[in-house]
Amino acid sequence: MRVEFEFYGTLREAVGEKTVSREIESGTTALEATRAVADEHEKVGSLLFRSNGEVRPNVTVSVNGDPVLDESGDVALEEGDELVLAPGVSGGSTEVDR
């Protein structure tokens, strides 16, 4: 089955593309598919995963707009699903200009 990955921020820079499509086996989970894409792009693995294999807490993984790989757990993917991989955004100021 085919799924689409969309990347943001440093992940997009590391992959070199905004989106990629991949054929995966039926029953593949979001975590398994994310690991497979990380294996294909050498710079992506360290941005997505800690050394112990867990997804970094600053990374959001969503399937069809719903966050996964958090307290809700992993999900099996279906044909045509879209996975969005986005690093957290930091910076800015707490001061409000008036």
96 falls within a domain? no
- How many degrees, rounded to 5, is the angle at CA 68 between CA 94 and CA 75? 180
Dihedral sign (CA 9, 12, 15, 21):
positive
Distance CA 59, CA 47 (A): 8
Q: Is residue 50 part of a domain?
A: yes
The pTM is what? 0.83
pLDDT given at position 72: 60
Helical H segments across the chain, by residue range:
9-15, 30-40, 45-48
Total of domains in the chain: 1
The parent domain of residue 29 ranges over: 2-87
Residues 6+ apart with CB under 8 A from 62: 68, 83, 84, 86
Bridge pairing between strands 59-63 and 82-87: antiparallel
Residue 8 lies in a domain: yes
Which mean pLDDT values do the consecutive 10-residue runs of the chain (98 residues) have?
Answer: 96 96 94 94 92 91 88 84 89 56
Query: Is 94 within a domain?
Result: no
- CATH number of the domain enclosing 42: 3.10.20.30
